[in-house]
Amino acid sequence: MTERRRVVVTAIGMVTPLGVGVEATWRATLRADNGVRPVQRFDASDYPVRFAAEVAVPGSGAPLKQTLALMALDEALAGGAPAAGSRLGVCLGSEAARPPLEWLFRSEAPKVSEIAALAPDAPTRLVAARLGATGPRSTVSTACTSSSQAIGEAVLRIRRGEVDTMIAGGVDVLSEPLMVVGFSKLGALSTRNDAPELASRPFDAHRDGFVLGEGAGMLVLEEREHALRRGAPILAEVTGYGCSCNAWRITDSPPDGRGAAAAMLDALHDAGLTPADIGYINAHGTSTPQNDYSESQAIHRVFASPVPVSSTKGQMGHLVAACGAVEAILCVLALRDQQLPPTRNLVDPDPACGDLDHVRIARATHGALKHTLTNAFGFGGSNGSLVFSSAEGSGQPR
């Protein structure tokens, strides 16, 4: 039997409400800084929710989603772009953009380029064209699971030998009038307009909904031997990927967490690991009553012993199609620096979620952290889990 091709992470880039760039976001995440503030992009004074986790970047004239995707990509490629051609592919998580409200009042029809920029695959097209990537190009649009599944599908393409390198990740922009009104009507958003910095509080007994966020995360994934031959730095190895569907309801997960548990178990099986091998879980942890309860039940189903758990959405809100990629990068950084990021605003853990080992202040693991797991569970019932393992066992180039 042919040995399975191994997939490693050789470069990363991200833009989040906590900062532009990997290191800025990582430092702010460990400090449990606040990325949630009153909306600045439009006048939200008459909206039911008047805050969000926005990215502070100067206007470029281009659609913000494309700008964020290229900023994250440029950081990931700062050390050099992969070779163009058919052995390079792109797979990104992205949702369709919403038409600006002012379009309703325009007399002229929108341009073809404006319509094309709203498509879910607009960022993927842009990245592939920028790199000359003529290998497989695909876009995953499964709401909050989009970029986790994009990373997983990219891993599978490399394992199958279709390509040597994949650009994988995701991007989303949610601080928009239609999103605020729509999710408010669903009752999914926190309404702490008087204290937005306290609004995103995963697993806390007093959580009342999630916070709309935005951002982008990009990972360069390579077949391990390909990376070693070109002397690329290996940051971590993607050892496991699992996905499942709840086949339940559109707006929430089954209370027993069975779909989420299936995704985690699949990822562990794919990695050849047991639950006891995992040293940290970056939870989906949206700060909604239903999601946090369901995910906690899933964790209890899979892990017999407590594992350190945190949700970094407490710091930066919910990045939806981008959250899986950004949180995957945070897992890579946790392995690199042997630091576990905390959950901001977790003051009174909800007893209904069980006795989870919550990380409430950043923890140093002093070299003990070898494997991390990150979860993403999407609106509509999709679930995705990824396992990242330490680069030490991946044959770091000398």
101-133 confidence digits (pLDDT tens): 666 667 777 787 778 788 889 999 999 999 999
Q: Summarize the confidence of residues 88-92 as an average pLDDT.
A: 98
Confidence of residue 393 (pLDDT cuts 50, 70, 90): low
| C-alpha to C-alpha distance for 207 and 202, rounded to whole angstroms | 7
Compute the Cα dihedral for 52, 121, 117, 169 and give only its sign: positive
User: What DSSP character marks residue 134?
Assistant: -
What is the per-residue pLDDT across 306-331, written as a single tens digit (0 to 9) for each? 999 999 999 999 999 999 999 999 99
Per-residue pLDDT at 255: 87
Per annotation, catalytic residue among 284, 331, 353, 358: 284
| C-alpha to C-alpha distance for 165 and 221, rounded to whole angstroms | 6
Nearest to 78 by CA among 208, 215, 212, 233: 233
| C-alpha to C-alpha distance for 280 and 360, rounded to whole angstroms | 13
Residue ranges of the domains in the chain? 7-394
Per-residue pLDDT at 67: 95
Point out the least confidently predicted range of 3-17, 263-277, 377-391. 377-391
What is the per-residue pLDDT across 357-377, written as a single tens digit (0 to 9) for each? 999 999 999 999 999 999 999
| C-alpha to C-alpha distance for 229 and 169, rounded to whole angstroms | 24
What is the per-residue pLDDT across 161-187, written as a single tens digit (0 to 9) for each? 999 999 999 999 999 998 999 999 999
Q: Are 63 and 110 in contact (CB under 8 A)?
A: no
Catalytic residue list contains 245: no
Catalytic residue list contains 284: yes
| C-alpha to C-alpha distance for 256 and 354, rounded to whole angstroms | 12
Give the contacts of 114 (CB within 8 A, at least 6 positions apart).
none
Per-residue pLDDT at 1: 57
Q: Summarize the confidence of residues 140-151 as an average pLDDT.
A: 97
Q: 90 vs 248, which has greater pLDDT? A: 90
What is the per-residue pLDDT across 30-65, written as a single tens digit (0 to 9) for each? 999 999 999 999 999 999 999 999 998 877 678 899
User: What DSSP character marks residue 98?
Assistant: P
DSSP H/E element including 272: none
Per annotation, catalytic residue among 91, 226, 318, 353: 318
**Mean pLDDT across the chain:** 94
Amino acid letter for position 77: L
Fold classification of 7-394 (topology level): Peroxisomal Thiolase; Chain A, domain 1 (3.40.47)
Per-residue pLDDT at 6: 98
How big is the chain, counted in residues?
Answer: 398
Catalytic residue list contains 353: no
| C-alpha to C-alpha distance for 52 and 206, rounded to whole angstroms | 19
Give the contacts of 305 (CB within 8 A, at least 6 positions apart).
275, 276
Confidence of residue 395 (pLDDT cuts 50, 70, 90): very low
| C-alpha to C-alpha distance for 196 and 55, rounded to whole angstroms | 15
Per-residue pLDDT at 57: 84
- Does the pLDDT at position 394 exceed 70? no
pTM above 0.85, yes or no: yes
| C-alpha to C-alpha distance for 7 and 85, rounded to whole angstroms | 19
Going from the C-alpha of 142 to that of each of 239, 248, 381, the distances in angstroms are 22, 15, 9
| C-alpha to C-alpha distance for 299 and 241, rounded to whole angstroms | 16
Tokens of 118: 């709203």
| C-alpha to C-alpha distance for 372 and 29, rounded to whole angstroms | 17
Per-residue pLDDT at 201: 98
| pLDDT above 70: percentage of residues in the chain | 96
- Does the pLDDT at position 396 exceed 90? no
3-state secondary structure of 146: helix
Per-residue pLDDT at 252: 75
Per annotation, catalytic residue among 144, 243, 323, 331: 144
Q: Are 121 and 94 in contact (CB under 8 A)?
A: yes
Tokens of 137: 């190009």
Q: Summarize the confidence of residues 281-295 as an average pLDDT.
A: 97
